[in-house]
Amino acid sequence: MGYASWSRHLPALVPALAAVIYLGLPQAEAEAAPPSGEGFNDGGGYITFTPGALVLTAERDFTDVNPSYGWALGGGYMFAPGSLFKGTIGVGFEHNVLMLAGYKFGDFGAHVLRVMPEARLGLGGDTVWGYGLIGAGFASTLWHWDLDLPFLEGLSGSRSAAGLNLQAGVGLQGFVYNNFFIGGEVDVDVGFFHEKDIVDWGKNDDRDFSLYQVSFELTLGWHF
């Protein structure tokens, strides 16, 4: 899986991602506060869209997963009781498209869906802030096949498993124009799943499996 390899480089990737996002902000916007009602210090509602994420996956009692793709939607409310401390409370929907090792996606692929309440707490100014993230909620893994696989019944079909997902992460967001902001986020997800039918995946015959994922995300957002 290469899990140990990419996990060793994770601490270096987090500050690098933060630097890239900060340097990508127009300096005039980073130095001058936006008009009233458009800055992080004003609080208020927000929506976010993550058009793309690189997802690295390790597993227990599932099957090997190659680097995969994800996207997400979210929204909530930001509060800023002072000029430095900030936080958000919201909900997010995430969809990961898992590329299973050794197979074309159309022949044998999987999806992970998550819906989670989430909270962010951090520090920053009116135009840029950094934060930590925690979340927990419902998750589901769905897999399909259109191939004669020795460990699944039939030449084609689909199955699913429901479960619980726990999430933690760090991120950075900054305004680029009026109410529009961009951000970068690194999330760690741990999902515990239970499949109602006993399925032999070739290396286990139990109902439970786990997915451990690290996601590197680019986020677009609008502040109300």
- Alpha carbon 187 to its chain centroid, in Å, reads 5
For the record, the structure tokens of 119 come out as 């909270």
Strand partners, 213: 57, 189
**CATH number of the domain enclosing 71:** 2.40.160.20
Question: Taking phi first (over 0 means left), then psi (-120 to 50 degrees means alpha), and beta for anything else, what does residue 112 get?
Answer: beta
> For residue 94, what is the enclosing H or E element?
strand 85-100
For the record, the structure tokens of 24 come out as 């990508």
pLDDT by 10s per residue, the chain, length 224: 444 444 454 455 545 544 544 455 544 444 444 554 468 998 999 999 999 999 999 999 888 999 999 999 999 999 998 889 999 999 999 999 999 999 999 999 999 999 999 999 999 999 999 999 999 999 999 999 888 776 677 778 888 999 999 999 999 999 999 899 999 999 999 999 998 765 555 454 557 899 999 999 999 999 99
Q: Cα–Cα distance between 210 and 28 in angstroms, integer?
A: 46
Confirm if 130 and 171 have CB atoms less than 8 A apart.
Answer: yes
- Closest by CA to 100, choosing from 153, 151, 50, 167, is 151
Q: Cα–Cα distance between 36 and 62 in angstroms, integer?
A: 51
Quote the number of domains for the chain: 1
Confirm if 219 and 185 have CB atoms less than 8 A apart.
Answer: yes
Q: Which domain holds residue 109?
A: 3-223
Counting DSSP H helices and E strands in the chain, the numbers are 2, 8
Question: pLDDT value at position 197?
Answer: 63
Residue matched to tokens 């799943």: 193
Backbone angles phi, psi at 203, to 5 degrees: -140, 5
CA dihedral 219, 222, 223, 224 (to 10 degrees): -150
- Alpha carbon 100 to its chain centroid, in Å, reads 19
DSSP annotation of 218 reads E
The model's pTM: 0.78
- Closest by CA to 92, choosing from 135, 150, 29, is 135
